[in-house]
Structure 1
């Protein structure tokens, strides 16, 4: 019986340490957000969390989660901004003052994000900084070196 008690205490301590680590590390390095997946009715589905920008990925961490991994990852090239709106009167009760709701689509999933003005600006800048898919092409390291030294298009020594 004593073994079971100690095991439960150890599990509880580990859960508290993991929750504290996640809370303090993510809150200090991310943007506060309230997110919900659509379709939803009324006030249902809103979840508090943190957004973290990681190159071409946007990582969402739920506030009430113990997982060390992101709960949702969106790739910048698959995200489309559909609409912006002001929160409804009911939504404004649990959102910070000055929040706006952004409606996005990622692949086949529609999501609403409630962000303050700084968060909205950061999200929009991250989204607009996406490279144009048409301009992405691969170039070998050798071609890049030739281009860098002004030899691109002149051919190699063997060609002459």
Structure 2
């Protein structure tokens, strides 16, 4: 019985340490958001969390999670804005005033993200600075081989 109790205590301490680490590190390095996956009705599906920009990826960390990994990862090359809106009366009861709601899709899956004006500006700039998904990078080595082969045949 003593071993079981010690195992449970160790698991509880580890969970508290993971939660504290995640809360302290992510809150200081990310932008606070409220996110939900569409389609959703009324006030259902909203989840508080933090987003962090990591190159071409947007990492979303749920507030009530102790996982050291991001809960969702979005790539900006697949992002598409569908519009913005204000808060509804029901949403105003649990969201801070001044938040704007962005309707955005990543890879065909639509989400609503509620952000303050600074977070909205950062998200818009991050998405718009991405190269178009069809833009191809020139492979100079392959191009050089193609040119020299043609020259050698003539």
Give the TM-score taking structure 1 as reference length: 0.86
State the alpha-carbon separation in 2 of the partners of residues 141 and 59 from structure 1. Answer: 34
Q: CA deviation at 1:141?
A: 6.8
Partner of 2:107: 107
> How many positions carry a matched residue from both structures?
148
The verdict on how the C-alpha distance between 1:8 and 1:60 changes in structure 2, with shifts beyond 3 A counting, is: same
- Counterparts of 1:9-158 in structure 2, within 5 Å, are 9-140=9-140
Q: CA deviation at 1:93?
A: 1.6
Q: Is the Cα–Cα contact under 8 Å of residues 78 and 133 in structure 2 kept in the other structure?
A: no
Aligned-residue Cα RMSD (Å) equals: 1.9
Q: Which runs of 4+ in 1 moved over 2 A?
A: 132-136, 138-143
Residue deviations 1:32-62, cap 9 Å, x none?
Answer: 0000001111000000000000011000000
SS for the counterpart of 1:67 is: coil
Residue deviations 1:89-147, cap 9 Å, x none?
Answer: 1101211221000001112211000000000000000000001334432333798xxxx
Specify every segment of 5 or more residues in structure 2 that has no aligned partner in the other structure, as ranges: none
Specify every segment of 5 or more residues in structure 1 that has no aligned partner in the other structure, as ranges: 144-152
Task: Choose 30-39 or 106-115, whichever is displaced more.
Answer: 106-115
Give the TM-score taking structure 2 as reference length: 0.89
